[in-house]
Structure 1
Amino acid sequence: SPNLGEMDLFSRMQRLEFKGSELVEILTEQEFDFKRSSKWMGDHTLFTIQVVFLYIVSIHIIKDFMRERVPFKLTLPIQIWNLVVAVMSGVGAAAMTPEYLSTWYYRGYDATVCSSRQEFFSGTGGVAVFVLTLARLPEFIDTYFIVLRKRPLLFIHWYHHAFTLFISWYGYSNLLPCSRHAIYVNALIHTVMYSYYFLCSLKITLPSLVARLITIAQIIQFCFIFYAVGHTTVIHYIMGVPCEIHDESIVLTWIMDLSYLYLFIDFYMNKYNGKTKRDEIRAFKTE
């Protein structure tokens, strides 16, 4: 028979718990408390699992529902959405830049992945990190736009959205300094990519090379993360250097990055070797 722990987990899985009032307090405090925000993220690990499940089920239900129906255009909502994400990502990247560059320049690469938790997660840059991590949830909107417009729904698209939400929130709760490279570079790429999508939504024609370069930038991003996690793994687990680290988060990051690298390289090879239909050739939106 199931023990009390299993019954309690089953009971919790049946209800969504989101601490909205505490989130507002965290975001409006005079001085940002990254330890409180990380605890808030940790308290929502189960929530992310539930939301990911609902996300995957709902997009496939909507896809089936739309099969015999006229696709929505959603031109204005998409324009607004792309502009909002581009601006938010750009502002976030700008806020993180001073600390990101100064820590690397003055303290070295080892410090960026191993001993700079306080620097990265606090202050104005820390607020940007928290907000961009929260934004992984509304980024599911991308997928709903796809299914409501009856565009091709690729596995790589919904897989990376689902995995990224979970690992971003879970990883933030453990405050890994090495995550700085993924968060910062991704903010830069999102700024460019969603600006590109915004211009496309305005019917502005851009050279096809732009889409190719964005996809290449995404692959380089995952190589960058690969190096950061690999470097952290070597200096901590092999060389024995003390690090601000969390074992489960490192393992999940390896799984995430290797799977993304494989999927994005495969996507690129198919896309630019002519295996993908011409009307499907667009820069792919990353996590």
Structure 2
Amino acid sequence: MSMFWDAFKAGDFDYLLQWMKSNWTLSLYISLVYVILIFWGQSYMKTRPAFNLRPQLFVWSLALALFSIWGAYRTFGGIFSDASENGWLYTMCSLSYLNEQPSQNNSPLWAFLFMFSKLPELGDTIFIVLRKQRLIFLHWYHHITVFVYCWYSYGHPVATGRWFSAINYMVHAIMYSYYAIRASGNKTPKFIPICITTLQILQMVAGIFVNVYALKMVYRGESCYVGITNIYLSLAMYCSYFVLFCNFFLNTYLRRPKDKVKVEAAANKDAIKQEESSATSSSTLRHRNAVH
């Protein structure tokens, strides 16, 4: 592991690529431990009061927001630079971003940082568990699959990874900035989380488009540095995210208000029936008393 960090400090990304190629399976074992810990943590917290953790969550979210903002700036800078010289389609099929010199956009560094950042991002779930918030399937499934896919793909470089990382940096820049604002105690307009979820759905659409384009290029026999297996894995992953995020959007922003109205209407209906029943009983009782 010391050689790994020495290579990182020296900017030896060729060594890091080879190291990840041989050791990407670590992400599988880490993911297994992650799942065990979060569900054990939920069980442990059931009989205990929730932690506040607002200051810690603010610092955590702000740090990830700043990291993502700078990452989006550097990765999109590399894409725009290459697109101006070779065209947009070139940026989806070339591995040139992994061979840039530090004097350019330093894309190799930000590709590595993107891959590695998926490990500490698992820490998001700690706040959910310790604050006793609802942990949905989408959250931990998304964290695990992105983590494993990024570690695998860094060791088996793919041209499409450039776009995946750039778009993800951008979305996370906005998302973690929103989390930081909320953790600081400031209120935000209700449309902001709706916009963020919409942006996440659009991210999945973009990921599907990039994969379909790469697949078309591969079947045409064109030069596109993406393995067919990686494309299918990535496409399945993005499609599953698209379905899950759309379902989340539907349940969170569209269905719940209607369901709430239905529940309230049912409750009001029951209350009316109870009142009518009580009134009938009282009337019957008065009638009996009058007879007697």
Q: TM-score, normalising length from structure 2?
A: 0.83
CA drift of 1:251 comes to 1.9
Gapped regions of structure 1 (runs ≥ 5): 1-18, 279-287
Q: What is the CA deviation profile of residues 176-217 of structure 1, one whole-angstrom value per residue up to 9, with x for unaligned ones?
A: 111111100110111111111101111111101111101101
The counterpart of 1:72, out of the listed 51, 64, 69, is: 51
One-letter code of the match for 1:118?
A: S
| Aligned counterpart, 1:224 | 206
Tell me how far apart the structure 2 counterparts of residues 270 and 61 of structure 1 sit (CA, whole Å): 27
Q: What RMSD over aligned residues (CA atoms) do the two structures have, in Å?
A: 1.6
75 and 142 in structure 1: CA distance in 2 versus 1, 3 angstrom threshold: same
After TM superposition, the structure 1 = structure 2 runs for residues 118-157 of structure 1, keeping only pairs within 5 Å, are 118-120=96-98, 122=100, 123=102, 124-157=106-139
Tell me how far apart the structure 2 counterparts of residues 66 and 267 of structure 1 sit (CA, whole Å): 25
| Aligned counterpart, 2:159 | 177
**Contact 1:100-1:120 within 8 A present in 2 as well:** no
CA drift of 1:90 comes to 1.0
**Contact 1:121-1:175 within 8 A present in 2 as well:** no
Of structures 1 and 2, the larger Rg is shown by 2
Decide which structure has greater helix share. Answer: 2
Q: What is the CA deviation profile of residues 7-58 of structure 1, one whole-angstrom value per residue up to 9, with x for unaligned ones?
A: xxxxxxxxxxxx2x123112211xx333222112222222111001110111
After TM superposition, the structure 1 = structure 2 runs for residues 1-287 of structure 1, keeping only pairs within 5 Å, are 19=1, 21-29=2-10, 32-115=11-94, 117-120=95-98, 122=100, 123=102, 124-237=106-219, 239-275=220-256
Q: Secondary structure of 1:275's partner?
A: helix
Tell me how far apart the structure 2 counterparts of residues 199 and 72 of structure 1 sit (CA, whole Å): 19
| Aligned counterpart, 1:15 | none
CA drift of 1:120 comes to 4.4
Q: Secondary structure of 1:205's partner?
A: coil
Tell me how far apart the structure 2 counterparts of residues 56 and 67 of structure 1 sit (CA, whole Å): 17
Tell me how far apart the structure 1 counterparts of residues 129 and 20 of structure 2 sit (CA, whole Å): 29
Q: What is the CA deviation profile of residues 139-192 of structure 1, one whole-angstrom value per residue up to 9, with x for unaligned ones?
A: 111111101111000000000001110001101111111111110011011111
**Contact 2:27-2:148 within 8 A present in 1 as well:** yes
One-letter code of the match for 2:211?
A: V
Q: Secondary structure of 1:109's partner?
A: coil
- Count residues with an aligned counterpart: 255
CA drift of 1:96 comes to 1.7
CA drift of 1:102 comes to 1.7
One-letter code of the match for 1:83?
A: L
Instruction: Indicate the percent of aligned positions where both proteins have the same amino acid.
Output: 28
Tell me how far apart the structure 2 counterparts of residues 136 and 160 of structure 1 sit (CA, whole Å): 11
Tell me how far apart the structure 1 counterparts of residues 127 and 242 of structure 2 sit (CA, whole Å): 25
Tell me how far apart the structure 2 counterparts of residues 256 and 218 of structure 1 sit (CA, whole Å): 14
